[in-house]
């Protein structure tokens, strides 16, 4: 499979990707594969699919690796295997990386994971940069990292941590995927901050469609994402009409994506939450828009 840092280097148009997460039940895994079958990722113009990784130890790693391997072997699409520092030791990391390499997985998104602040001192990898450093020592993985346009929820400083980004790049990160945001200005401000600090690295914009009232409450609390007035009005207007809110949320996300593409973003990364309608409705539209823009520039 192609290494993702090379995709960013060689693709003349924005990189298109999306995230899936490992379901807890076997039937749900089959359902996820069926959704991907219906989508046909390559036909939809998808460059890579990321597979998340929780704090479930070896069983969780095996499931993430299983899904990532299936994506590559069955659909012929590059998989980005998430790897967290939580509960990871140098020994388990070495074992996991060896298994991934043997399975043909060459792309990793290295993140710290959700860790109580009281456990920082007890963790072998308290920060993503620490995990990236050790991954870089083993084999030749293409390594990505997360970036936070509005700041990390655990950091009292609002906005991007330029120092944190520098540390991840110095450790070995070759591309970045942003945390979700609902105000494109936050992303553009982050881009400007990176540019002003002479940091050049591909960054995909992470977009999540709002599809429920409960989702809004969870995201604003857990992630700290700000809710623009326009989106807040949409959520309020359709709070008693779940299906209308779902459609309006996807429409708002598409507006974000079109604007980002018009501003020359390096890539779009869709947080699809394993929702079939998000994937089958939004991804073809995004790809069509990318191809249409490319044709206009080629004339």
- The pLDDT value recorded for residue 132 is 97
C-alpha to C-alpha distances, 23 to 34, 66, 148, 187, 273, nearest whole angstrom: 13, 12, 26, 30, 10
**What averages of pLDDT result for each successive group of 10 residues across the chain (299 residues)?**
95 96 86 93 95 68 94 97 89 94 97 64 82 92 95 63 93 97 96 96 98 85 84 94 96 98 98 94 94 67
- The pLDDT value recorded for residue 95 is 94
- The pLDDT value recorded for residue 216 is 85
- The pLDDT value recorded for residue 24 is 80
Closest CA to 64 of 72, 77, 54, 74: 54
- The pLDDT value recorded for residue 213 is 87
For the domain spanning 4-211+248-298, the CATH number is 3.20.20.220
pTM: 0.93
- The pLDDT value recorded for residue 295 is 66
Residues with catalytic roles: 19
Q: What is the DSSP string of the chain?
A: ---HHHHHHH-SS-EEEEEE---SSHHHHHHHHHHHHHH-TTTTT--EEEE---S-HHHHHHHHHHHHHHHHHHH--EEEEEEE-TT--HHHHHHHHHHHHHTT--EEEEE-----GGGGGG-S-SSHHHHHHHHHTSTT-EEEEEE-TT--TT-SS-S--HHHHHHHHHHT--EEEEPP-S-HHHHHHHHHHHHHTT----EEEEE-----HHHHHHHHHHT-----HHHHHHHHHTTT-HHHHHHHHHHHHHHHHHHHHHTT-SEEEEE-TT-HHHHHHHHHHHHHHHHHHHHHHH-
- The pLDDT value recorded for residue 138 is 86
- The pLDDT value recorded for residue 299 is 47
């Amino acid at each position: 499979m192609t290494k993702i840092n090379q995709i960013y280097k060689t693709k003349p148009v924005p990189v298109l990707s999306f995230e899936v997460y490992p379901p807890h039940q076997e039937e749900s895994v089959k359902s996820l594969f069926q959704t991907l079958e219906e989508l046909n990722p390559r036909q939809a113009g998808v460059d890579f699919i990321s597979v998340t990784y929780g704090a479930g130890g070896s069983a969780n790693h095996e499931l993430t690796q299983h899904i990532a391997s299936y994506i590559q072997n069955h659909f012929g699409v590059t998989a980005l295997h998430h790897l967290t520092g939580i509960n990871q030791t140098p020994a388990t990391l070495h074992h996991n990386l060896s298994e991934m390499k043997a399975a043909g997985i060459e792309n990793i998104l290295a993140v710290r994971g959700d860790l109580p602040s009281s456990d920082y001192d007890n963790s072998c990898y308290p920060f993503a940069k620490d995990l990236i450093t050790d991954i870089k020592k083993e084999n030749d993985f293409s390594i990505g990292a997360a970036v936070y346009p509005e700041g990390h929820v655990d950091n009292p400083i609002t906005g991007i941590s330029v120092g944190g980004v520098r540390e991840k790049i110095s450790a070995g990160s070759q591309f970045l995927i942003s945390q979700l945001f609902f105000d494109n200005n936050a992303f553009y401000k982050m881009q400007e901050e990176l540019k002003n600090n002479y940091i050049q690295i591909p960054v995909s914009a992470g977009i999540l469609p709002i599809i429920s009232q409960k989702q809004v409450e969870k995201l604003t609390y857990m992630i700290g994402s700000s809710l623009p007035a326009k989106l807040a009005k949409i959520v309020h207007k359709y709070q008693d009409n779940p299906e209308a809110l779902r459609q309006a949320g996807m429409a708002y996300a598409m507006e974000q994506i079109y604007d980002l593409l018009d501003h020359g973003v390096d890539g779009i990364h869709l947080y699809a939450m394993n929702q079939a309608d998000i994937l089958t409705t939004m991804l073809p539209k995004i790809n069509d828009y990318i191809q249409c823009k490319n044709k206009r520039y080629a004339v």
